[in-house]
Structure 1
Amino acid sequence: MPSGISKLKFLRVFNAYSNSFTGPLPKEFVNLRLLEELNLGGSYFKGEIPRSYGSFLKLKYLHLAGNKLEGPLPPELGFLIQLEHLELGYNELLSGNVPEEFALLTNLQYLDISECNLSGNLPPQLGNLTKLENLLLFMNQITGEIPVSYTNLKALKALDLSDNQLSGTIPEGLSSLKELTRLSLLKNELTGEIPPGIGELPYLDTLALWNNNLTGILPQNLGSNGNLLWVDVSNNSLSGPIPPNICQGNKLYKLILFSNKFFGSLPDSLANCTSLYRFRIQDNQLNGSIPYGFGLLPNLSFVDLSKNNFTGEIPEDLGNSQQLHFLNISVNYFYTALPKNIWSAPNLQIFSASSCKLKSKIPDFIGCISLYKIELQENLLDGSIPRDIGHCERLVSLNLSLNSLTGIIPLEISTLPVIADVDLSRNFLTGSIPSNFANCSTLESFNVSYNLLTGPIPASGTIFPNLHPSSFSGNQGLCGGVLPKQCAEDASGPRDTEVRQRQQPKKTAGAIVWIMAAAFGTGLFLLVAGTRCFHANYSRRYSDDREIGPWKLTAFQRLNFTAYDVLECLSMSDKILGMGSTGTVYKAERICCMGKIRGRIWWLIGLQGTRLPWVWRRGSAICIMIVIL
């Protein structure tokens, strides 16, 4: 601050607010005997507040807030008997108590010493400041109780003692402060009940009491004055119903009641509160249904109804909400289906409805232009995942776990441009994992555990080689990738895309029929030829079995073993009965891995591949022919 200002003997106002001055506060200002307003706030002045600043004779306005001042508050400031406005806040290095000498400032109307490092108790003497309209001491380390003498501050309009370490109860006499518009005591250690008369204050527009240990009910007349703008009593132990007229006057824009014990149903008047912007009532014991009309509120942006006991239908009008961007209805007991238009809210970004007993199918994702997070886990949803989820181009997180979903994993999920987290675990999904997920560069987590998936896990890409095997556990048909179970070497290429799942049966059905017919014909020819040779030899060695009757050809279900299992049962001493272009015929005396099968068994084994078994028998002899395609 340049010197020489003290020579301006008739100076009445000096305003240097919000600059970058440094150094100590200039002491020469005390020589300005006619000075009425001194504003040195919002710069970088440091050091202590000069004690000489208590010698201004006519000073009415002193603003030193927002600097780097330090040390205790000088009691001498209490000698500024003409002072009406005092701002010393936002100097984090200030320390000590609020001087009780400030009670001498009988003309004081505005006192702000917020966000400093003050400690100690509140001086009861401040209750003598009968002209005081604003008392702001928030964000300090003040302890003790709120002095009862503060109920004498009849002109008080704003009382903000929040974010301190105050204890005890809210003085009943605060209900007598009829001019009070703002009461903020949040983030303290207050106990007891909210004085009922608080709800009858005629001009009260803000009630902020969150993060205390308050009990009892919310004053039932709260809001009846028609001036209420903001109520936040979250994180207490309040109970009882929500005041029925809390939005009377239609000015309320924030109603935050979460983490209490409120019960009963929502007042119908809330559905007509067109000014409502934020509505958070989660973690209570509220019941009944969600009133129709919330979706029609023009300003409603943030709604959290989770962790309550709500039941019944979810209003369809929520899908028509124009400003809604956050909706959480999780952990309730709806036992109903989601509205078909739930994704149509044009600005909806986060939708959470986990663990709330939702039934039926997931609605088609029509209109989900803004959604980036969908949480539907732990419900009763069934049916398939709608393929039009590809319309949700901003979707980042999708959680559909712990439902009863069926069908395949839609290929469209892998095409979402910013998808990062996908959890489809603990459902009944079938088919394979679309290989396109390997090309999804934004993917960070992927969980499909405990489904009925089959086929190979995508081995390429940035995410799949680094996933934990638990992301795929519980799917007996999955193989490869991070799993110890490797896919069969004779697998005929990838079958994991939806296109292949649709087209392969159509392309190969006719070929399989012809191959099976050819294989059966070949097998039948060998059967007839072999039977004659076998019958002649068999009749000499087992003549007692002739009386049983002729051979009978019977088709059985597909067997659960392969040609490799058979070969493992053959020893070096087994005899080769014959060889030909169709394969080799072995004679085996024991089949250890086939279970309890009696008699001699002949195997016709050809090339590797898909098997088509036929079994024929006569007496105690069992012949199994496996035609390898």
Structure 2
Amino acid sequence: MMILGGRSLQLVYALLIFLYMQTSIGFNSTTGDYEIRCIESERQALLAFKQSLVDEYGKLSSWGSEEEKKECCKWEGVQCSNTTGHVTVLEVPWLKGNLSPSLFELYHLTYLDLSCTDFNLSPVPESIGSLNKLQHLVLCFCNLSGSLPSQLANLTSLQSLDLRYNKFDIKNLEWLSPLSYLQYLDLSGNDLTKVNNSWLEVINKLPRLNILYLCGCNLPYVLPQSIPMINTSTLLAVLDLSSNNPSASTFQWLSKFNKSLVSLNLSDNSFQGLIPENLSYMTSLETLDLSDNQFEGGIPKSFGNLCKLRSLNLSNNNLDEMLKELIGNLSGCLRLSLEGLYLDENKIKGPLPEMIKNFSSLRWLSLYNNKLSGTVPKSIGLLSKLEWLGISSNSLNGTITESHFSTLSKLRGLDMSFNSLSFNFSRDWIPPFQLDEIELASCKLGPKFPRWLKTQRNFSNLDISGNEISDGIPKWFWNLSSRAFHVNLSSNHLYGVLPNFSTTKFADSFSLGIDLSKNKLGGPFPVFPINVTYINLSENRFSGSISSLCTITSGNLVVLDVSHNQLSGKLPDCMTRSTSLLILNLAKNNLSGKIPSSIGSLSRLKSLHLQNNNFSGEIPGALGNCSALQFLDLNYNSFSGIIPVWIGERLSSLNFLLLRSNNFSGDIPLQLCWLTNITLLDLSNNNLSGTIPQCIQNLTALARKESLAHDHNSWSERSYAYNASVMWKGTERDYGNGNLKNLRIIDLSSNKLTGEIPIQTSVLFKLVQLNLSRNQLTGKIPPDIGQMRDLESLDLSHNRLSGQLPWSMSQLNFLSTLNLSYNNFSGRIPSSTQMQSFDASSFVVNPALCGLPLTPTCPGDEKSKSKPTDSGGKDNQEDKSEFWKSFKLGLELGGAIGFVEVLAMKFDHPWKHVCFLLFNNVRIRLSNLKDCLYLLVAAVGSMVRGHVSRLGRKLKLFEPSVSS
């Protein structure tokens, strides 16, 4: 919705190039009765170039050597001079292959466009310098690499050069200096780290340069002393330095273009502090983009004098002024020219001010995701030119009436979502607008279905989710728009039966996504048109079979979620043509039978949810063809047989493997250790036997710090809310998109596993939950278990484990759930604030285990205490006195340490981990003594007593017999 300042000028410039070609270059090679024939050497050069390419789409099918195809001037993408017959234009984008040097034998080329052709990291040949008549060169998105040849300096006729988004190793830009006719230059997406500040000097030497794009180039810091004197002939009008990391001194250089710059883009550059005042001196500016930085405060008052500014983008910064003051600073001549104002995603406060109505030219106003409060003034309805209004995700309240839209006849986009707004329109109200985007999520439009929507017949995006609508969906709704792209009516109280979508106007949409989840809709599974890409009917009351699934999965369906309904019967075996499906969620229904083998045709499937059904039989081997799977959830079914080894061999992208509560038997396959991306492995409550594989250490995602990153290739996938039911600390919980990526869990509980816990388990440093309970495990707990510092839940109960608890367990500072009960552990429970915070139930039925919190003492503790004697006299009394002084000191020190630890546990702060480690290391060293408390106190007491005695001898305060 933004004004296309710089890019619109780019399009204008491309149009000028096109017009130039129309007038100076003939589109066909015929003039009167005289036909200019193709020059043989150039035809051969073109054919050689074709041989180096892969033409997947037949773009070069007209190129050939047959007699009727000899006239290369008539080939697709080729144009010749209508006087000389030389090839002057070659425009063949979207190919693959190598950049053949034969191409550069077309010495008369003036226009060359090979954009979006994959040259497989080929370098640019030095022979490109032979094209000295070239005026326009486009090699963007070509996957080229290597150094740029210095021979580019020979292209002295160049007027436009587009090399954006390649992988060049650019060490200098001196080759640009001779290109004195260059007006348009785009190097975006290429790394300019090595050029130092020479880019400033070179740009300054290009007197005709008018448009410059250096987006995402890793530009080095601009040093004030390196800023060159400006060339008075420079006409730079469009400048894009976005997505770099320049210094604040960049503004000093920019100030030299005060009278020429029309469009300036400095977005995504990590600029901090206040917005520089000197930007307001650029009186020719029409578009200014400072979004995605860290600017604070408000807008300089001097910005109100930018009389030509049409678009001001300050979104995603840290602006925190009151909106009234911020708008007030723009109330100069700017208020008459400003068409687009983007202040979204800041910290702007206060109500919407009445003065907004003074901006008579405003077409786009975006204020979403701020801290705005109060009501929406009716004066906003006086912005008669307004086309887009976005005020979502604030704390606005009150009632919206017809008067808010009284003159907004040009309004095309409305986003008031996620506020406490109620809409109150008369039943027969006819809005003055035709909206393309209607975003009113979490507002109150109900309880009746909004009748005014009947007038909106051109929308592509409609979101009235969470609107407290308790009504049936009227029949007229399904025939409103043939442009519907995304329709969201979820989280209401809608009831009734859905129509056959194939007979509605929605069926004429190019690509339809529909979300009706979390309602009370029922009846049979509806019939959808083949153009549908996104279906979410979860948490409703649909029943019966899903045989119509065969129709929609043969089209372009990307997401299908019908979970949490009452669907029954078998899964139809008809998915052989489902090449686009990424997410299939049939969970929590009454589906039964075996998984059909045609599911293996879902080659792009990323997420398969079949949990909480009645599926049975073995997992079909065809599922191994779904090599893109990241989520596989088969929990709570009746699957049987062994866990297939091909899961580890062929599903290497798996992040989540959930097989809880089935009838799987046999050993845990060693091949599961090949799942290096797995973060949640749940095989619990089955009949698995054998040992836990020692190769468990190969599950490296459980040792890495970084979170999962999932690629979302389509709008449909991005819109879907991933969800998984996870057993967390003994309770099953639902986790959504945001939290799933942080889970690191292994749950092998309630099986028949034997043998020892592999010591390799200790290297899974980022594991947060480990549950091996209710098995037949023997042996000891791995001694280095304390390395698993992120562990929050550990359950080893109901096994046959034995031996002492490792002292390293006292290092598990984030452990909040612990169950070691019903084993054969012995010895003392390690001492730590964390271990003693659990109640006795965490340790019960371990007959030889002792210590707090299970028992006050351990056997033999009383023997280590010193017995009183009559001998010793004064020395003995002094020893006792010093002992109790030292004991008090030890208690005070321990209390202080414990208090700090409690504070660290209470408050979530970055130094929390440091604090734990510091005090824990001290405690562990002391805990290694046979009786840590007694010996610590005795040692401190002895040291203090010795110092006191020596001091006493010097001061003659004690008798010699007192000294020891």
1:401 touches 1:423 (CA, 8 Å); kept in 2?
yes
- Aligned counterpart, 1:475: 846
Instruction: Say which SS state the counterpart of residue 449 (structure 2) adopts.
Output: coil
Query: Within 5 Å, which residues of 2 pair with 1:293-442?
Result: 297-320=626-649, 321-364=651-694, 365-371=696-702, 372-414=744-786, 416-429=788-801, 431-437=802-808, 439-442=810-813
Equivalent residue letter for 2:758: P
- Aligned counterpart, 2:491: 163
Distance in 1 (alpha carbons) for counterparts of 2:787 and 2:359: 75
Task: Give 1:121 shift.
Answer: 0.9
Instruction: Say which SS state the counterpart of residue 145 (structure 1) adopts.
Output: coil
1:286 touches 1:310 (CA, 8 Å); kept in 2?
yes
Aligned: 1:254 with 2:626:
no
Do the aligned partners of residues 150 and 446 (structure 1) sit closer, same or farther apart at CA in structure 2, a change above 3 Å counting? closer
Task: Give 1:14 shift.
Answer: 4.5
Do the aligned partners of residues 93 and 210 (structure 1) sit closer, same or farther apart at CA in structure 2, a change above 3 Å counting? same
Instruction: Say which SS state the counterpart of residue 351 (structure 1) adopts.
Output: strand
Percent identical among aligned pairs is 27
Equivalent residue letter for 1:400: L
1:437 touches 1:458 (CA, 8 Å); kept in 2?
no
Query: Within 5 Å, which residues of 2 pair with 1:127-276?
Result: 127-155=454-482, 156-172=484-500, 176=504, 177-178=506-507, 179=509, 181-195=512-526, 197-198=527-528, 201-218=529-546, 219-245=548-574, 248-276=577-605
Instruction: Say which SS state the counterpart of residue 341 (structure 1) adopts.
Output: helix
2:775 touches 2:799 (CA, 8 Å); kept in 1?
yes
1:377 touches 1:401 (CA, 8 Å); kept in 2?
yes
1:25 touches 1:47 (CA, 8 Å); kept in 2?
no
Equivalent residue letter for 1:39: L
Instruction: Say which SS state the counterpart of residue 221 (structure 1) adopts.
Output: helix
Aligned: 1:61 with 2:390:
no
Task: Give 1:10 shift.
Answer: 9.1
Task: Give 1:87 shift.
Answer: 0.3
2:441 touches 2:463 (CA, 8 Å); kept in 1?
yes
2:829 touches 2:850 (CA, 8 Å); kept in 1?
no
Task: Give 1:338 shift.
Answer: 1.3
Aligned: 1:456 with 2:786:
no
1:454 touches 1:479 (CA, 8 Å); kept in 2?
no
1:103 touches 1:129 (CA, 8 Å); kept in 2?
no
Do the aligned partners of residues 263 and 31 (structure 1) sit closer, same or farther apart at CA in structure 2, a change above 3 Å counting? same
Task: Give 1:315 shift.
Answer: 2.1
Distance in 2 (alpha carbons) for counterparts of 1:481 and 1:49: 61
Task: Give 1:193 shift.
Answer: 2.8
Instruction: Say which SS state the counterpart of residue 283 (structure 1) adopts.
Output: coil
Equivalent residue letter for 1:144: D
Structure with higher Rg: it is: 1
Q: Number of residue pairs matched?
A: 485
Task: Give 1:150 shift.
Answer: 0.8
Do the aligned partners of residues 97 and 405 (structure 1) sit closer, same or farther apart at CA in structure 2, a change above 3 Å counting? same
Task: Give 1:332 shift.
Answer: 0.5
- Aligned counterpart, 2:32: none
Distance in 2 (alpha carbons) for counterparts of 1:46 and 1:377: 51
Do the aligned partners of residues 287 and 6 (structure 1) sit closer, same or farther apart at CA in structure 2, a change above 3 Å counting? farther
- Aligned counterpart, 1:86: 413
Cα distance per residue 1:184-226 (max 9 Å; x no partner): 112223233332x22xx12111111222233233332253343
Task: Give 1:355 shift.
Answer: 0.5
Do the aligned partners of residues 174 and 162 (structure 1) sit closer, same or farther apart at CA in structure 2, a change above 3 Å counting? farther
Equivalent residue letter for 1:213: R
2:446 touches 2:467 (CA, 8 Å); kept in 1?
yes
Instruction: Say which SS state the counterpart of residue 214 (structure 1) adopts.
Output: strand
Task: Give 1:236 shift.
Answer: 2.1
Do the aligned partners of residues 231 and 492 (structure 1) sit closer, same or farther apart at CA in structure 2, a change above 3 Å counting? farther
Distance in 2 (alpha carbons) for counterparts of 1:62 and 1:3: 22
Distance in 2 (alpha carbons) for counterparts of 1:406 and 1:21: 62
Equivalent residue letter for 1:205: T
Task: Give 1:375 shift.
Answer: 0.8
Task: Give 1:468 shift.
Answer: 3.0
TM-score (structure 1 length as normaliser): 0.67
Aligned: 1:288 with 2:660:
no
Cα distance per residue 1:414-467 (max 9 Å; x no partner): 5545444332222233x422443454343544433223x253233533444444
Instruction: Say which SS state the counterpart of residue 334 (structure 1) adopts.
Output: strand
Do the aligned partners of residues 403 and 472 (structure 1) sit closer, same or farther apart at CA in structure 2, a change above 3 Å counting? same
Cα distance per residue 1:25-79 (max 9 Å; x no partner): 54774895xx69343543666655555666777x572414325554333224676
- Aligned counterpart, 1:577: none
Do the aligned partners of residues 223 and 170 (structure 1) sit closer, same or farther apart at CA in structure 2, a change above 3 Å counting? closer
Instruction: Say which SS state the counterpart of residue 422 (structure 2) adopts.
Output: strand
Q: Which has the higher helix share?
A: 2
Distance in 2 (alpha carbons) for counterparts of 1:287 and 1:167: 33
Among residues 114, 122, 126, which one is paired with 2:441 in the alignment?
A: 114
Distance in 1 (alpha carbons) for counterparts of 2:335 and 2:699: 69
Instruction: Say which SS state the counterpart of residue 521 (structure 2) adopts.
Output: strand
Distance in 2 (alpha carbons) for counterparts of 1:61 and 1:27: 18
Do the aligned partners of residues 435 and 297 (structure 1) sit closer, same or farther apart at CA in structure 2, a change above 3 Å counting? same
Do the aligned partners of residues 25 and 190 (structure 1) sit closer, same or farther apart at CA in structure 2, a change above 3 Å counting? farther
Cα distance per residue 1:483-527 (max 9 Å; x no partner): 45976549999xxxxxxxxxxxxxxxxxxxxxxxxxxxxxxxxxx
Equivalent residue letter for 2:766: R
Cα distance per residue 1:549-598 (max 9 Å; x no partner): xxxxxxxxxxxxxxxxxxxxxxxxxxxxxxxxxxxxxxxxxxxxxxxxxx
Task: Give 1:22 shift.
Answer: 5.6
Structure 1 residues not aligned, in runs of 5+: 494-629
Task: Give 1:7 shift.
Answer: 8.7
Do the aligned partners of residues 172 and 98 (structure 1) sit closer, same or farther apart at CA in structure 2, a change above 3 Å counting? farther
Equivalent residue letter for 1:280: H
